[in-house]
Amino acid sequence: MNKDKTLRKDIRKDFPILSKKILKTKDLVYFDTAASAQKPQVVIDELNQFYKSHYSNVSRGVHTLSVESTLRYEEARKKVQNFINAKSENEIIFTKSATESINLVAQTFYDKYMSAGDEIILSLMEHHSNLIPWYFLRDKYGVIIKFANITESGEIDVNHFESLITPKTKIAALTHLSNVYGSKIDEKVSSICKKNNVAILLDGCQSAAHLRIDVQKLECDFFVFSGHKTYGPSGIGVLYGKEDLLNEMPPYQGGGGMIGEVTTDKVSYAELPAKYEAGTPPIAEAHGLGIAIDYMNNAGIENIINHEEELTKYAYEKISELDFVKIYGDGDNRNSIISFNIENIHSHEVSSFLDVEGIAVRAGHHCCQPLMKHLGVNSTSRLSFGMYNTIEEVDIFINALIKCKDFFIK
């Protein structure tokens, strides 16, 4: 493990896509990690090797390949447990995506703990993946959804959040790190939930690759994240849930792998974590996620954090110097993400112009339409950092923004 305070200077060489030329002339500057992170060569190689030498279905056979595949699948679970400091491997459920993880919690938590008229608290800056599953409950069962306000700096208004809680409030589902503002949730929110016996789910899709995650310190009941945003493959998501809750909640899907015994008139279910992993799971993807976690640990989580904080601060200061750019939220509680607009230029035009310069940024509503409405815009441009980005790339980006403004505004 890298115990220095900085990342290896040659770390970019680990990511083969960064050598790609855009339009055959421009070096790729990838500022879209919040959408999906690029993959280090070791993850690519391990996935290939897994399929070449070890692949078989898991937990269903005693032959050599099945045993090898199962061992790697369960090793990945242990790596995730350590990565987020869960108490038990039984608290780690593999899904196909963080979206599926949230849907799993929404449906099974309702089935066990809620009824019509009970309340859920969300915030105005949630990703659609942490809105729609709860909307399903509202539309189908008549639960009530309340929205916590956000401040101008892009943080949950803690006082307003607390004022929303009533004896009917059963769960809050909130982003741990906003995919528009880059702002982190105030830790007081979890304490407020605990004090009021309200369960809390944290959407960690943006935080898992950029912060040190400790679910016990966070005092959350559920935590979700996705493999593809943590330098691993797509098609793998993680659900952490407290073991006592997962034991009480019913299965989400039925099929092979999650049963204890089946007869013609009854069924019993497997123990955790198999209870929630019906069917053939994302086997190779789980292994790839485990390798990506190894890679992040070897790079040094604190080193990644320090590097990205430096990048974010530098970029925020440089963009703030441009009087034709509006940044959403402030820089004090921001990590790895900056959303902005150039006056009188649509975000899609900005993104297209930057692409010609070799720079990949996201443009659109970022699956946060309620937040866009709150901000009074249809969309924003967004740059987001990974461990492989550099100060020099930020300078390239700033120069390209100036060129963009000069091109569109004569």
Q: So which residues are the catalytic ones?
A: 367
HSE-CB for 239 with a 13 A CA cutoff: 28
335, 308 in Cβ contact below 8 A? yes
Q: Is the dihedral of CA 266, 272, 274, 275 positive or negative?
A: positive
Between the CA of residue 27 and those of 41, 101, 360, 405, what are the distances in Å?
19, 37, 11, 21
* Residue among 212, 218, 205 nearest 368 (CA): 205
Residue with tokens 């959303």: 339
C-alpha to C-alpha distance for 228 and 233, rounded to whole angstroms: 5
Spatial neighbors of 65 by CB under 8 A, at least 6 apart, are: 54, 55, 56
- Collapse the DSSP code of 120 into the 3-class scheme (helix H, G, I; strand E, B; otherwise coil) and give the result: strand
C-alpha to C-alpha distance for 406 and 409, rounded to whole angstroms: 5
273: preceding bond cis by omega (within 30 degrees): yes
* Residue among 215, 273, 219, 225 nearest 246 (CA): 273
89, 243 in Cβ contact below 8 A? no
Spatial neighbors of 334 by CB under 8 A, at least 6 apart, are: 154, 181, 182, 183, 312, 316
- Collapse the DSSP code of 285 into the 3-class scheme (helix H, G, I; strand E, B; otherwise coil) and give the result: helix
290, 83 in Cβ contact below 8 A? no
- Under DSSP, the state recorded for 208 is T
The angle subtended at Cα 315 by Cα 314 and Cα 321, nearest 5°, is 95
